[in-house]
């Protein structure tokens, strides 16, 4: 009997993570026991499917493709991508060891034909192995290249040894009489490199542990509903332009900071006044490149254009926006420019009391790609959330996979980045976050999503929500 169920993941939203505004149970012991029992039950259920594997598929072929699961019983094809994967886009699947998939090229929209010899639509196949973290790259000619954690580790070890050997050869050439010392240096180089790799691997293994993910999802309701829960203690504090910065998480591809007194009251008022006439229901990405209304996000929002030509005249919104880019460049040193960036977004959440069963909130999500894959030019890579008005009850920002809970503080800001500026790899889920339900009062924030690879000729709105340029998508 084969398992036919394969699930395409376009979002990281789960019904088990739905938040309510209910007050927490008064007995922490009872709550923890309940959570523990749920985790055990979940792990027992998962243990019945030890061959399950998550895979990522990257389309770098320059053509539209679709993915089919091949039923081993009768050879029939079961479509897994609806409608397709655009060139430059990626998708993830939950599958099982031994499952085979067919990658099929689709005809170009304009010509109606494929790019194979004789206009034939090309195909290739791949099979899920037992290794973890599998990535299938669809290259030019619809040829699939497979990589995984074991392959990456082997290449990393080879590269490490080559680097150490190269250093040793240089030392030997400079001082032929110190062979013994050089041999010791070679050994130390390898040992340090291996230790660093083991440390990274252990950290990733710990993060990927199912217990942590399950606990994060299960305590989401409890922590959001706990009115007494304060902001998580920071790892350290720094100073930036006379502002106190609380560093909550500091990983190469995942940083979370809280900056005191980031936005002024007059800047908040300028944004609110501009936003008031154009507020509308907030939307989310629909997984196909567009946006849609969703119960996962209940709020009002309005995009605020920044008039950079008025910056020299002291325009308040331009002044605030400049501060945003200054801080992003301070942290990431990527020389981000304001040209082509998204508008500042004024977002408002309204509390309607503890009995509201559909409170204003934002379910767990990632602002950009959080699969650990390579960065796509033009995509988001950092966010700043500035708190103008804070509610009496609720409205915290929670990073559940990092166990960071941020209680909104007026005029402070939460900064988080989800790119490694050295390797250009994206975050692996540490910056997945949610906006807890607003129970009493009003929460008004100003958000800037920051992109890399945009400019005047290639602005943010020339890319769809999958990170593919509209002009490229139309020609596929």
| 344-350 and 442-451 beta bridge pairing | antiparallel
Highest mean pLDDT among 96-100, 199-203, 217-221, 254-258: 254-258
Q: How confident is the model at residue 299 (pLDDT cuts 50, 70, 90)?
A: confident
- Enter the tokens of residue 192: 């340090």
- pLDDT of 206 reads 45
140: pLDDT strictly greater than 50: yes
216: pLDDT strictly greater than 50: yes
Residues 255, 331: contact at Cβ < 8 Å?
yes
Question: Measuring CA to CA, which residue among 8, 11, 136 is closest to residue 80?
Answer: 8
- Enter the tokens of residue 349: 């959440």
User: Rounded to whole angstroms, how far apart are CA atoms 241 and 259?
Assistant: 11
The top-level CATH class assigned to 228-474 is mainly beta
470: pLDDT strictly greater than 90: no
Kindly list the distances between the CA atom of residue 390 and the CA atoms of 88, 266, 271, 432, 441, in Å, as whole numbers in the listed order: 40, 16, 16, 22, 8
Please report, to the nearest 10 degrees, the dihedral formed by the alpha carbons of residues 341, 89, 329, 340 taken in order. -20
User: To 5 degrees, how large is the angle CA 148–CA 63–CA 8?
Assistant: 50
pLDDT digits (tens, 9 = 90+) for 225-280: 677 789 999 999 999 999 999 999 999 999 999 999 999 999 999 999 999 999 88
Rounded to an integer, the average pLDDT of 291-303 is 64
- pLDDT of 337 reads 94
429: pLDDT strictly greater than 70: yes
pLDDT digits (tens, 9 = 90+) for 51-68: 888 888 989 898 999 999
335: pLDDT strictly greater than 80: yes
367: pLDDT strictly greater than 60: yes
pLDDT digits (tens, 9 = 90+) for 382-414: 999 999 999 999 999 999 889 899 999 999 999
The single residue listed with the structure tokens 């029992």 is 37
The single residue listed with the structure tokens 């607003």 is 438
- pLDDT of 21 reads 41
- pLDDT of 155 reads 63
What rounded mean pLDDT belongs to the chain? 81
* Long-range contact pairs involving 207-212 (C-beta distance under 8 Å, separation at least 24): 207/401, 207/428, 207/429, 207/430, 210/42, 210/43, 210/46, 211/39, 211/43, 212/401
User: Rounded to whole angstroms, how far apart are CA atoms 241 and 357?
Assistant: 43
Residue 262 CB-half CA count within 13 A: 31
Rounded to an integer, the average pLDDT of 91-97 is 89
Residues 156-192 as b/e (b if ≥16 CB within 10 A, e otherwise) read eeeebeeebeeebeebbeeeeeeeeebeeebeebbee
- pLDDT of 474 reads 65
- pLDDT of 10 reads 38
Please report, to the nearest 10 degrees, the dihedral formed by the alpha carbons of residues 235, 375, 449, 244 taken in order. 20
Q: How confident is the model at residue 122 (pLDDT cuts 50, 70, 90)?
A: very high
Q: How confident is the model at residue 308 (pLDDT cuts 50, 70, 90)?
A: very high
The domain segmentation of the chain, as residue ranges, is 228-474
Rounded to an integer, the average pLDDT of 23-40 is 55
- pLDDT of 421 reads 96
Residues 297, 283: contact at Cβ < 8 Å?
yes
pTM of the model: 0.66
- pLDDT of 251 reads 94
451: pLDDT strictly greater than 80: yes
**Phi and psi at residue 236, to the nearest 5°:** -165, 170
306: pLDDT strictly greater than 80: yes
**Lowest model confidence (mean pLDDT) among 115-124, 206-215, 436-445:** 206-215
């Amino acid at each position: 009997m084969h398992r036919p169920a394969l699930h395409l993941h376009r979002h990281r939203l789960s019904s088990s993570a739905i938040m309510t505004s209910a007050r927490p149970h008064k007995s922490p012991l009872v709550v923890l026991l309940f959570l523990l029992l749920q985790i055990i039950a979940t792990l027992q259920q998962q243990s019945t499917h030890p061959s399950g594997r998550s895979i990522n598929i990257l389309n770098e072929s320059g053509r539209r493709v679709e993915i089919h699961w091949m039923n081993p019983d009768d050879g029939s094809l079961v479509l897994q991508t609806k409608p397709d994967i655009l060139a430059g886009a990626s998708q993830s699947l939950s599958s099982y060891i031994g499952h085979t998939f067919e990658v099929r090229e689709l005809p170009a929209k304009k010509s109606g034909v494929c790019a194979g010899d004789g206009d034939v639509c090309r195909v290739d196949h791949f099979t899920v192995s037992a290794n973890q973290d599998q990535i299938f790259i669809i290259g030019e000619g619809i040829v699939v290249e497979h990589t995984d954690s074991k392959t990456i580790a082997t290449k990393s070890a080879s590269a490490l040894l080559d680097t150490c050997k190269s250093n040793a050869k240089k030392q030997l050439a400079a001082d032929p009489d110190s062979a013994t010392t050089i041999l010791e240096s070679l050994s130390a180089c390898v040992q340090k490199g291996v230790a660093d790799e083991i440390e990274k691997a252990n950290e990733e293994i710990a993060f990927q542990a199912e217990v942590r993910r399950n606990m994060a999802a299960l305590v989401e309701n409890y922590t959001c509903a706990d009115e007494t829960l304060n902001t998580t203690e920071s790892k350290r504090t720094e100073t930036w332009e006379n502002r106190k910065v609380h560093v909550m998480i500091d990983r190469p591809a995942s940083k979370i900071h809280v900056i005191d007194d980031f936005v002024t009251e007059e800047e908040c008022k300028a944004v609110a006044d501009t936003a008031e006439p154009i507020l509308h229901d907030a939307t989310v990405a629909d997984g196909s490149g567009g946006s849609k209304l969703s119960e996962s996000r209940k709020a009002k929002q309005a995009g605020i254009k920044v008039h950079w030509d008025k910056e020299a005249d002291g325009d308040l919104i331009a002044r605030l926006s400049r501060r945003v880019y200054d801080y992003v460049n301070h942290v990431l040193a990527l020389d981000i420019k304001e040209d082509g960036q998204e508008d500042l977004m004024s977002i408002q959440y309204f509390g309607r009391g503890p009995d509201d069963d559909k409170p204003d909130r934002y379910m767990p999500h990632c602002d950009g790609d959080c699969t650990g894959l390579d960065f796509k030019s033009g995509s988001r890579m950092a966010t700043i959330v500035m708190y103008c008005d804070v509610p009496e009850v609720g409205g915290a920002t929670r990073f559940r996979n990092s166990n960071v809970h941020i209680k909104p503080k007026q005029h402070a800001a939460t900064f988080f980045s989800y790119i490694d500026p050295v390797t250009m790899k994206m975050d692996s889920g540490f910056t997945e976050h949610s906006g807890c339900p607003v129970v009493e009062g009003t929460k008004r924030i100003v958000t800037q999503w920051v992109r890399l690879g945009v400019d005047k000729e290639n602005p943010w709105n020339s890319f769809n929500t999958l990170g593919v340029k509209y002009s490229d998508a139309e020609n596929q």
